[in-house]
Structure 1
Amino acid sequence: VPEREKGELYHIKNGIMCLDTLGHRIGESLGVYQCHGTGGNQEWAYEREKGLLLNTVSKLCLTMEDMNGDPLVILDDCSNVKSRIRMDAATGWLTQGGRCLALEPDAEHWRLDSVVCDAGDGGQRWVFEKTASFGSVKAKNG
């Protein structure tokens, strides 16, 4: 029986795009994909106490810094994440180590970057949409 994820479950949106693992692995970038509302690569569990944001399918965490603390948006084993991730619903900022996750245009695609927080940058304003888990075990009634 699969274990239910700890923490609150979210789709993390910027416009019609959702934070998505794109099926990538440890050390690889993550990105965005048009929101499909069916969980999977777009479903994230936020463990507020630990400051971790992990994908419910891959069990990998988002981090915005590499092993040297340099800015880099990748998936990593959650035990390697050094600084807490914070979600601020008021500003829409997703921060780690004082930097913000930003969605930036890159030729014909979008890329994620770790940048200095700027209230005027719409690419840094995320909507944290709570979701019931699609893959989690549901409690049986009576």
Structure 2
Amino acid sequence: MPRLSPTALAALSFIAAASLAHAQGPRGGQDANGDGVVSAQEFEDAAKARFQRLDANHDGVIDAQELAAIQQRMEARRAEHPEAGKGGGGSAALSAMDADHDGKITEAEALAAAKARFAALDTDKNGELSQAELPARRGPPN
């Protein structure tokens, strides 16, 4: 099994944190019913949809090949939108998502990380993310 390069790991970390685990305002299908809050189910459904988009070969894991493609898209997006900044989650975000530390992210791992992120954001523990609980939006829309 090939090991991931540090660059690929950094790309996965950023993508995983930004695309699968962050709620950056109701966008990308997170607020599916348009009521201005994101429910736990909406958050999970959006994370699942993002994972399925990133899993290009639909084998249930985001692997080294898919990471390389993700990295290329990110670099192109950063070149088009340099004002968006870099952001990112670092190795801690990857470690949190890659529960078995095999260098790949499964859908189950991604969803577990999304559920944990939702729980952390839901400060009043009512099962919904209000506008006040959602992090400020960064970068261009997905």
> Could you tell me the TM-score, scaled by structure 1's length?
0.27
> Could you tell me the TM-score, scaled by structure 2's length?
0.27
Task: Using CA pairs under 8 Å that are at least 6 residues apart, name the structure with larger relative contact order, 1 or 2.
Answer: 2
More helix by share: 2
More strand by share: 1
